[in-house]
Chains A and B, each alone.
Chain A
Amino acid sequence: MSMSRQPMASRHALPVKQLLLTLLAWSVAFVIFFPILWMVLTGFKTETAAIADPSFIFSPTLESYQAVQARSGYARFAINSVAVAFGSTLLALLIAIPSAYAMAFLPTKRTKGTLLWMLSTKMLPPVGVLVPIYLIFRDVGLLDTRTGLILVYTLMNLPIVVWMLYTFFKDMPKDILEAGRMDGASTFQEVWYLLLPLTLPGIASTGLLSVILSWNEAFWSLNLTSSKAAPLTAYIASFSSPEGLFWAKLSAASTMAIAPILILGWMTQKQMVRGLTFGAVK
Chain B
Amino acid sequence: MRFARHLPLGALAGAIALASQAQAQTTITVATVNNNDMVIMQSLTDEFQAAYPDISLDWVVLEENVLRQRMTTDIATGGGQFDVMTIGAYEAPIWAEREWLTPLDDLSDDYDVDDLLGSVRDGLSLDGTPYALPFYAESSMMYYRTDLFEQAGIEMSEQPTWDEVRQWAETLHGSEEGLAGICLRGKPGWGENMAFVTTLVNTYGGRWFDEQWNPELDSKPWQDAIAFYVDLLGNYGPPGASSNGFNENLALFARGNCAMWVDATSAAGKLFDPDESSVAESLGFARAPIAETPKGSHWLWTWALAIPASSEQKEAAQTFITWATSKEYIELVGETHGWTSVPPGTRESTYANEQYQQAAPFAGFVLEAIENADPTDSTLEPNPYTGVQIVNIPEFQAIGTQVGQSIAAALTGDTSVEQALDSAQRATERTMQRAGYND
Contact = CB atoms under 8 A, between A and B. Distances in A.
Contacts of B264: 243
B251 A230 contact: no
A234 B58 CA distance: 14
Contact of A48 (B36, B60, B275): B275
Contact of A243 (B35, B61, B78): B35
Contacts of A241: 33-35, 63-64, 247
Interface in A225-254: 226-227, 230, 234, 237-246
A242 B267 CA distance: 12
A242 B59 contact: no
A222 B78 CA distance: 17
Interface residues of A, number: 30
A242 B63 contact: yes
Main secondary structure of the interface of A (DSSP, over half): loop
Contact of B62 (A52, A135, A237): A237
A179 B80 CA distance: 58
B79 A245 contact: no
B135 interface: no
A183 interface: no
Contact of A51 (B76, B81, B255, B266): B255
Contact of B39 (A71, A226, A227): A71
B45 to A, nearest CB: 10
A47 interface: yes
Interface string A27-53: 000000000000000000001100111
Interface in A212-230: 222-223, 226-227, 230
B130 interface: no
A174 interface: no
A131 B82 CA distance: 17
A63 to B, nearest CB: 12
Given A72-B61, A226-B60, A239 B77 contact: no
A239 B246 CA distance: 16
A130 interface: yes
B191, B247, B264: residue with the most chain A Cβ atoms closer than 10 Å = B247
A91 to B, nearest CB: 24
Contact of B60 (A138, A227, A242): A227
Interface stretch (B66-74, B91-99, B226-234): B66-74
A143 interface: yes
B254 interface: yes
Given A223-B73, A244-B36, A134 B79 contact: yes
A71 B43 CA distance: 7
Nearest to B31: A226
B397 to A, nearest CB: 14
B65 interface: yes
A184 to B, nearest CB: 47
A138 B59 contact: no
Contacts of A53: 255
Contact of A242 (B69, B79, B82, B245): B245
Given A134-B73, A222-B66, 11 more contacts: A72-B61, A131-B73, A134-B77, A143-B79, A222-B62, A230-B60, A238-B62, A239-B34, A241-B34, A243-B35, A244-B35
Interface of A: 47-48, 51-53, 71-72, 130-131, 134-135, 138, 143-144, 222-223, 226-227, 230, 234, 237-246
Interface of B: 29, 31, 33-36, 39, 42-43, 58-66, 69-70, 73-74, 76-82, 191-192, 245-247, 250-251, 254-255, 264, 266, 270, 275-276
20 contacts: A47-B276, A53-B255, A131-B77, A143-B79, A222-B62, A222-B66, A222-B70, A226-B58, A226-B60, A227-B60, A234-B62, A238-B60, A238-B61, A240-B34, A241-B64, A242-B65, A242-B247, A243-B35, A243-B266, A244-B36
